[in-house]
Amino acid sequence: MAFPDIQSFMRLLEVRGELLRVSAPVSHDLEITEIADRLVKSGGPAVLFENVRGSEFPVVIGLMGTRERTALALGVNDLDDLAAKVRALIDLKGSGGKLGMLGNVTKLKDAMNLPPKRVKTGPVQDIVWRGDEVDLSRIPILKCWPLDGGPFVTLPLVISNDPETGERNMGMYRMQVMSKNTTGMHWQRHKTGTKHLEKAKRLGQKLEVAVAIGGDPALIYAATAPLPPIPGLDEFALAGYLRGQRYPVTKGITVDLDVPANAEFILEGYVDPSEDWIMEGPFGDHTGFYTLPDLYPLFHVTAVTMRRQPVYPATIVGRPPMEDAYLIEASERLFLPAAQLIIPEITDYHMPPAGVAHNLVFVGINKTYPGQAYKVANGMFGLGQMMFAKVIVVLDDDVKVNDFEAVWRAVAERAVPGRDTLTTRGPVDVLDHSSRGWGYGSKLIIDATTKRPEEIGGAESSRDLQAGDLAHETVFKPHAAADLPDFEGVVTQRQNGDGYWLVALNKTRPGQARELAKAFAAHPAAAGVRHLLICDEFTDVNNIQDVWWTILNNIDPERDVVQHGALLTWDGARKLPEEGFVRPWPPKITMDPAVVERVEAMWHVYGLPEAWR
């Protein structure tokens, strides 16, 4: 189903009871975030805030805040259908006579929807602000979290063209409002926008940029998708394919760029590569931690175009689960067939919310020979943005990759620390605050597959054995100890019975976590566990998702995942300068208690159901 624009999608959600209106006055300074955070974490509806203080425009948030709404937005009954849709497209038949070739007709028709459709103008150009009329403060751009450096555009579709080839790119890069007509442009070093700016600098010219806000759900998703660098395949093409119709684009008013004709707002302008970069941030990021201030280019807004009655769409990111988890899941479903083309033994993969996309990947494989898990994991590190993955767990295909606890049980039972774990190095996300260097760190592969004789030091070859005779080692049987030792700084701890020892540590001195790990590994209570997970004092050890979210954010595996005897210890505590960690350590995102109290007191005034409070 193709939606003409975001407002048509909103109307459908409202009919289905999945979008509620709030007419009471609300602030776009933290208040909307607190409401939206509660709703997305409880599986609640999208919300249209009709009366935003200081702005004439309403705000809509949470449009793709559930798996079901995301599937609806992308025109499928279930996100798993995306893989089938792509698999059907790439399975073109070159044989079978006329009947075989006729099977390609529908697929070729789908491919015809890839190129965008040019129109003379569109609703997004009904109203135009130019020059001094441009005033971003009139748009209800959210300040999301208390320590944020200012308001941030959180759903921007940033469009630029390669100055040499003309190839178009659209990406979603947060934008901090700096003044009435300037914003930061968060182009990270690996992003295509950065490459365009570097080329513009070599050519001695400004880089034209257009930022669309809105469009339709397929385009908003497409801007987040990790598309491979294939000429002619861009985000407009992906959106056209998903919606089953060519995407309508028109030329900008003041820039020579194609912009979505059905957007709510377009910010037109330029980035001057000869200008000094400006300090941007902090920002409460999708990792659940603040990204600390850093230098980024400045975007100059020369014109704003909009519909006659536009809606400002926004999202929030932060401590998972958040709305972006469903966009990430859509991408993993969409690109599964492509991954299987390159690495055919992959049966499925999943990036759970606790890993905030890049920190954790579960991969199921059809294993047929020794060492295959490492072959698959290393292959995945070479697949586009999968290069940012920090921990890859490889599993037999009898383990469901989307069953978080079942995966970790399989890890404890089938992966012997040291023997079945391997570290390597490579690029990491620049938002990773725990890596040894900015954008550079280590990675961990865990082979949780059933082992072949060669992998456990057996004398026999698996070629000479029947499939049912391959498992020769005793299966590890985890159990929780009743009495756990004390240690300096331990706030809470428990063993969960699945082979994991979870510890919240108030770290006050260098080396404290390493000493704890050695002491606990030598204690009799370690007999029934294989993994010791050391977190900061703000972690709830009774919430396994919270534990892994903290651990995965706070480790550089080569430095922090260390074997002590039979125990693999994960040091997810804060790193100190005295330990050789020279980068600043960011705080976890939390809301201002005064805002929490205000929202709590106003919930009935908003008219929102108690179930989502």
Q: How crowded is residue 527: how many other Cβ atoms within 10 Å of its Cβ?
A: 11
| 539 Rama sector, left if φ>0, alpha if ψ -120 to 50, beta otherwise | beta
Neighbouring-strand partners of residue 60? 48, 313
Among residues 37, 216, 234, 285, the one annotated as catalytic is 285
Q: Cα–Cα–Cα angle for 354, 357, 362, nearest 5°?
A: 75
Candidates 321, 250, 424; CA nearest to 37 is 321
Q: What's the maximum distance between 2 C-alpha atoms anywhere in the chain? A: 79
SS3 148: coil
Provide the CB-side half-sphere exposure for 326 (13 A, CA): 25
Is beta strand 346-350 parallel, antiparallel or unpaired with respect to 312-314? Answer: unpaired
Is beta strand 182-184 parallel, antiparallel or unpaired with respect to 175-179? Answer: antiparallel
Cα distance between residue 45 and residue 492, in whole Å: 35
SS (H, E, C) 428-488: CCCCCCCCCECCEEEEEEEEECCCCHHHHCCCCCHHHCCHHHCCCCCCCCCCCCCCCCCCC
Q: Which amino acid is at 256?
A: D
Q: Are 390 and 427 in contact (CB under 8 A)?
A: no
* 88-100: burial string, b at 16+ Cβ within 10 Å, e else: ebeeeeeeeeeee
For the chain, the helix, strand and coil percentages under 3-state DSSP, each to the nearest 5: 30, 25, 45
DSSP H or E segment with residue 501? strand 500-505
Segments in 178-275 forming alpha helices (H): 192-203, 217-222, 235-243
Q: Which long-range contacts (CB under 8 A, 24 or more apart) does 402-410 make?
A: 402/350, 402/352, 402/362, 404/352, 404/354, 404/544, 404/545, 405/498, 405/544, 407/362, 407/448, 408/498, 408/499, 408/500, 408/544, 409/478, 409/498, 409/499, 410/448
Gyration radius from the chain CA atoms: 25
Q: Cα–Cα–Cα angle for 249, 252, 255, nearest 5°?
A: 135
The question of whether 285 is a catalytic residue gets the answer yes
Cα distance between residue 237 and residue 216, in whole Å: 14
| DSSP per-residue string spanning 128-147 | EEEGGG--GGGS-PPB-STT
Q: How crowded is residue 16: how many other Cβ atoms within 10 Å of its Cβ?
A: 12
Segments in 477-542 forming alpha helices (H): 512-521
Is beta strand 500-505 parallel, antiparallel or unpaired with respect to 490-495? Answer: antiparallel
Q: Give the residue numbers marked as catalytic.
A: 285
